[in-house]
Amino acid sequence: MTAILEKVNADKGKIESHFHYLHQNPGVAFEEQTAATYIAGKLREWGYEVTEGIGKTGVVGQLKVGDGKARIGLRADTDALPVQEGSDLPYKSKIEGKSHMCGHDAHSAMLLGAAEYLAKTKNFNGTLNVIFQPAEEVMAGAPAMIADGLFEKFPMDVIFGMHNMPGLPVGKLHFTGGPIMAAVDNWEIELTGVGSHGSMPEKSIDPLVAGAALVMSLQTIVSRNVAPMDAAVVSVGAFLAGNAGNVIPQNAILRMSTRTRKPETRQMVLDKIRSITKATAEAYNVKFEIREGQPGAILINDEANTDKCIDIARQVLGDDNVVTPGPTFMGSEDFAFYAQKVPGVYCFVGNGDTPNVHHPMYVFDQKNLPVGAAYWVAVAEAYLK
């Protein structure tokens, strides 16, 4: 066991207490005030200059040591999900219908553990920014912090992120340079026709039938336009139309999510959605409106910095606990928006054979807490020499 990991392990009880408190007090997107207050209080206690309210409920702690010019950011997410926790843990969520079924509480706890260690040892020379970001689950927290001037107020040369991943071996860090997570685009399409009594369909312009045709037509985008070696997903997750079996509704709403891994594929898929929707609406004589959400971004790891982080991780955790290249995922992460502004490195820590993130029975493996904290310490000390 390396010196850093040994010292962090000695303080793992503190990291666990952060984790338990945050787990018991979840807040969904932009409602993470309890976590923000707790985090800000701890950072101030350790000597950080703390800024609250960046991106509504985001917190940034800054610690400058020496005269070094290097500046880095370590980022954790703080938001929970609107999911009722299924496990009966001794530290289970106290908030009905809200829980940390993705491990963001653990990500924040690991970063708090590293932040305290670095504040005490000050074994670096430069500027450390620890970033606690809200609303990752809705892909809105990173854009909100950027819009609030994150990089202008806290300039960084490189930024780092981490996420736990069920299905990967516990305690092992996984790194891959280049694209590692897909862009997500969440859109809503509303079709408007003319309602009528179910016995007189000839007097209607039926948006439900048009919507059904649209759902099926959208499924041809990937199967007939995306090369098998590429990857994309077009999913309609909600189809809202009518309430009674004998009433033809006036409106139908489709809510959908697309995932793409290449900029050119993303543009093609979105253009196809627009053109197919327009053509279907014309064919069925309904009006349509497409409401586009936050534009998606592909998470791309900076190659050179990823290689450097692989070496750092091997030094602090050992060769056997670092996997490269690691897996890539069609899931999405708003860390991608940071990586568009400055070089970024995002890795995964294995959570073992557990239910997947977002599942009511998901449980974060606490053996990962010192692993993540030790990695963050090692990154800070290596980049801020």
Q: What is the phi/psi pair of residue 195, to 5°?
A: -75, 160
**Tokens 């040994």 sit on residue:** 6
| Residue 359 marked as a ligand binder | no
| Residue 23 marked as a ligand binder | no
| Residue 107 marked as a ligand binder | no
Tell me the pairing of strands 183-192 and 287-292: antiparallel
Give alpha helix (H) positions in the chain.
Answer: 3-10, 12-24, 33-45, 104-121, 141-147, 150-153, 207-218, 220-225, 263-284, 303-317, 335-339, 368-383
Q: Which class for 210: exposed (0-12), middle (13-18), buried (19 or more C-beta within 10 A)?
A: buried
**What residues pair up with 73 in beta bridges, in sequence order?**
129, 159
The CA-atom distances, in angstroms, between 279 and each of 9, 185, 217, 274, 286 are 61, 21, 10, 9, 10
| Residue 137 marked as a ligand binder | yes
State the DSSP string of 205-240. Answer: B-HHHHHHHHHHHHTHHHHHHS-TTS-EEEEEEEEE
Q: Are 60 and 51 in contact (CB under 8 A)?
A: yes
**Cα–Cα distance for residue pair 162/164, rounded to 1 Å:** 7
Query: Interior CA angle at 51 toward 48 and 56, to 5°?
Result: 145
| Residue 102 marked as a ligand binder | yes
- The structure tokens listed for 269 are 């898929």
**Cα–Cα distance for residue pair 148/152, rounded to 1 Å:** 9
**Cα–Cα distance for residue pair 265/225, rounded to 1 Å:** 9
Tell me the pairing of strands 71-77 and 158-165: parallel
**What residues pair up with 63 in beta bridges, in sequence order?**
128
The CA-atom distances, in angstroms, between 29 and each of 50, 54, 173, 195, 338 are 21, 14, 27, 36, 18
Binding residues: 102, 104, 137, 163, 358
**Residues tagged in the binding site annotation for Mn(2+):** 102, 104, 137, 163, 358
